[in-house]
Amino acid sequence: MQSLVISIMGKDKPGLVDSLAKCVYKHQGNWQGSSFAHMVSMFTGFVEVHVDEDEKQNLIDALDGITDLSVQSVAVASSTDAHATTLTVDVMGNDKTGIVQELTSVLNQFNLNILTFASHCESAPNWGSLIFKAKAEIGVPEDFDDDALQGALEALANDLVVDITAKR
């Protein structure tokens, strides 16, 4: 079996994921996992599929033929890159330009790998401004100092609330 990572993007409308799923099924692909999102009338996401080596190119060609979607696929070797420890980092504070860059810069300074990252802004009740919220899952070494990371993130702004939860 060959692992294939498929990314998609297109103007959102009903049936996009179904078109992708039918294509994968038709070529005997096994849908391993996926993540999709809707943002500003666009639909995007990615899927990991396992497919027999002799069906891989047929599946790739069929994916390229799906209308209404921009599709890219990359064959990858199976990964056993499981982190012994992951941290979930929840961040909330007043929205400002550059906040994502500041957060990711701190994570990079600690040489941490971002496994997932999701963020959004929402109206702050009674304040009339936007609140920034982010959630990241990061892979860390077993002996990582969570407190040092929390301190570095909280030092970015006096209104930033950071909650770190370890999954060992």
Q: Please report, for the domain that includes residue 9, its CATH number.
A: 3.30.70.260
What DSSP designation does 130 have? E
44 touches 9 (CB < 8 A):
yes
Residues present in the chain in total: 168
Of 31, 51, 76, which marks where a domain is finished? 76
Say if residue 39 is in the same domain as residue 91. Answer: no
pLDDT at 40: 93
Q: What is the structure's pLDDT at 82?
A: 59
Domain count, the chain: 2
Regarding whether 48 and 9 lie in a shared domain, the answer is: yes
Domain end among 46, 76, 106: 76
- Residues whose CB falls within 8 Å of the CB of residue 159, separated by 6 or more in sequence, listed in order: 93, 94
Same domain, 90 and 155: yes
Per-residue confidence (pLDDT) for residue 79, from 0 to 100:
60
To 10 degrees, what angle do helices 99-109 and 146-154 make?
Answer: 150
Query: Mean pLDDT for each consecutive 10-residue tract of the chain (168 residues)?
Result: 93 93 96 94 95 93 90 80 81 92 95 94 84 95 91 91 87
95/136 same-domain check: yes
72 & 95 share domain: no
CB 79 within 8 Å of CB 113:
no
Of the residues 23, 49, 76, the one at which a domain ends: 76
Which residues have C-beta within 8 Å of that of residue 89, sequence separation ≥ 6?
Answer: 134, 135, 136, 137, 138, 149, 153, 162, 163, 164
SS3 69: coil
> Which domain, by its residues, includes 54?
2-76
- The answer on 57 and 18 residing in a single domain is yes
Residues 55 and 112 in one domain: no
For residues 114 and 18, give the distance between their C-alpha atoms in angstroms, rounded to a whole number: 29
Are 160 and 93 in a shared domain? yes
* One domain, residues 19 and 38: yes
